Amino acid sequence: MTGTKTLELIIGANGMKRVSWSLTSAPNSQNMARSRYPILIQAHSVSAGPALARQPLLADLTRQDFPILHQEVNGHNLVYLDNAATSQKPVSVLDTIRDYYECYNSNVHRGIHALSAKATDEYEAARRKVASFVNAPSCRDIVFTRNATEAINLVAYTWGLTNLKHGDEIILSEAEHHSLIVPWQLVAKRTGAVLKYISLTKDEVADMNQLRESLSKRTKLVALHHVSNVLGSMNPVEQVVEWSKKYGAKVLLDACQSVPHMPVDVQSLGVDFLVASSHKMCGPTGVGFLYGKSDLLQDLPPFLGGGEMIAEVFLDYSTYADPPSRFEAGTPAIGEAIGLGAAVDYLTKIGMQRIHEYQVDISQYLYSELSAIPEVRIYGPHITAQRERAALCSFNVDRIHATDIAMFLDQQHGIAVRSGHHCTQPLHRYLGINASVRASLYFYNTKTEVDAFINALKDTINFFSSHQ
């Protein structure tokens, strides 16, 4: 073979690049040479000439960066629609984590040797990347935690136990994830604070009018989701902050379903605390982060005691480091935090606005196709010209249990969706159901995959209907 053909390389977030070479030469790419994931590059033989007429979609440009997507499950090509639970990881993140453990695995902040210095530099670089990603005023406003759940618990057991007293009120909604409910139940029991829940409107979104009317001098905290992991709805956070500040209440935002999918600016939102998890935004599991306003973090007591979070230790007392070190006791998840930094790099290169716009389009397609099936009941608001939905749909089918649907889709079609209460049992009770099916998309999903899911769901309905 000579250099008579052009091979079109689809290389993830970098877009499409055309390269020509003969069998005796190869692309000069260190990543390709050392990659353990040869599926990363997909070559198509095309004739040289004008550029392709169709502009490649975002999924076309990024899909090859995710090795896990290119496999068969139960004899079918995998269709992964469980992104609200956890997203997949691009090769750049996998390589970054492996590089840490292969090349400079060492503890951070404490060593003066080269490996420790390198690990510390990369760990703190990841903090700066996260701060920039959410537009935090300072990287010192970012605390690494195990996940968003631990970040919420950190706020509950530091700010909550320090500031709440008998009769103070915490406002939540009935649509919250368990991780935003249970910690405040525990703290309320210890402090005598009162939990107040706002319900849903007829459109199945958190009732903002009820929230506004519930605010009072007794309100100390409003804790809400940014985007619901079941309803696909988005709360008007800026308004909530404006209303809450009139009463001196703090606002804690669960941004697990927004930070991975759209531009999020903590300064524009005005929230006091924000939490998110790495594994939902192309990063590794075992690490998340808390954003807190500098003055609030500075006034908070430690969350856990041990090494790293101290200034000095004596036999009968200790003094503590400034934030964020005060809240990162012991050896942190170093490789995972560095991997999160790589995920932020990857998402930033694509562009969060671009991701959001793509997902708005594919979300509308999923909702339209799913709502056209008569037996399906979708939860959450309808899509209108004034209202977007997140790229997920939770639904049920008449006379078929959610778990049976998810199992059939997996075993008979290789389609991964989630079934159950999605850590929102109060919401499911409010809706009068004990479980639902959830199909959730990310920027690497395609309309072809949505079509496969819809056809498989119709097949599932037909199967169970014929066996009832």
d(CA 393, CA 359): 13
pLDDT for res 445: 98
- Is the pLDDT assigned to residue 200 strictly greater than 70? yes
In the predicted model, is pLDDT for residue 346 greater than 80? yes
Measured CA to CA, the distance from residue 134 to residue 281 in angstroms comes to: 13
Greater pLDDT, 47 or 436:
436
Q: Tell me how far apart the alpha carbons of residues 140 and 125 are, in angstroms, rounded to a whole number.
A: 12
CA triplet 251, 140, 136: central angle to 5 degrees?
55
Measure the CA–CA gap between 387 and 233, rounded to whole angstroms. 9
Per cent of the chain over pLDDT 70 is: 88
Q: Which residue has the higher pLDDT, 26 or 279?
A: 279
Is 423 an annotated catalytic residue?
A: yes
The model's confidence at residue 384, banded by pLDDT at 50, 70 and 90, is confident
Per residue in 299-332, pLDDT (tens digit) is: 999 999 999 999 999 999 999 999 999 999 999 9
Task: For the chain, report the end-to-end CA distance as a whole number of angstroms.
Answer: 60
Residue pair 147/254 in contact (Cβ under 8 Å)? The answer is: no
CB 183 within 8 A of CB 362: no
Helix spans in 165-236 (H): 178-191, 208-214
- Distance CA(305)–CA(170), nearest Å, equals 27
As a whole number of angstroms, the distance between CA 304 and CA 369 comes to: 48
- Report pLDDT for 36: 36
Mean pLDDT rounded to a whole number for the chain: 90
CA angle, corner 391, sides to 387 and 396, nearest 5? Answer: 95
Instruction: Please tell me the pTM assigned to this model.
Output: 0.88
Measured over the CA atoms of residue 381, residue 382, residue 388 and residue 389, the dihedral's sign is positive
DSSP class of residue 336 equals H
Average pLDDT over residues 35-46: 32
Residue count of the chain:
468
Q: Which pair of tokens denotes residue 57?
A: 């979609």
Q: Identify the pLDDT of residue 55.
A: 63
Amino acid at site 375: E
Alpha-carbon torsion angle 109, 115, 120, 122, nearest 10: -170
pLDDT for the residue numbered 20: 31
Q: Give the Cα separation of 156 and 164 in Å (integer).
A: 10
Write the pLDDT tens digit of every residue in 3-35.
333 333 333 333 333 333 232 233 333 333 333
pLDDT value at position 19? Answer: 30
The pLDDT tens digits for 140-188 are: 999 999 999 999 999 999 999 999 999 999 999 999 999 999 999 999 9
CB 453 within 8 A of CB 439: yes
pLDDT higher than 50, residue 2: no
Lowest mean pLDDT among 3-12, 168-177, 340-349, 433-442: 3-12
Write the pLDDT tens digit of every residue in 79-130: 999 999 999 999 999 999 999 999 999 999 989 999 999 999 999 999 999 9
Map out the domains of the chain with their CATH numbers.
Answer: 6-55 (no CATH), 72-81+352-466 (3.90.1150.10), 92-350 (3.40.640.10)
CA distances from 389 to 354, 361, 381, 426, 435 (A): 16, 10, 7, 21, 21
Q: What one-character DSSP code corresponds to residue 109?
A: S
Give, to the nearest 10 degrees, the angle between helix 402-413 and helix 447-466. 120
51-86 pLDDT, tens digit each: 334 568 999 999 999 999 999 999 999 999 999 999
pLDDT for the residue numbered 54: 55
Q: What percent of the chain has pLDDT over 90?
A: 86
Single-letter residue type at 94? L
Mind listing the pLDDT tens digit for each residue in 386-401?
Answer: 788 999 999 999 999 9
CA distances from 47 to 7, 18, 83 (A): 9, 11, 37
Active-site option among 103, 282, 393, 423: 423
With a cut of 60, say whether residue 37 has pLDDT above it: no
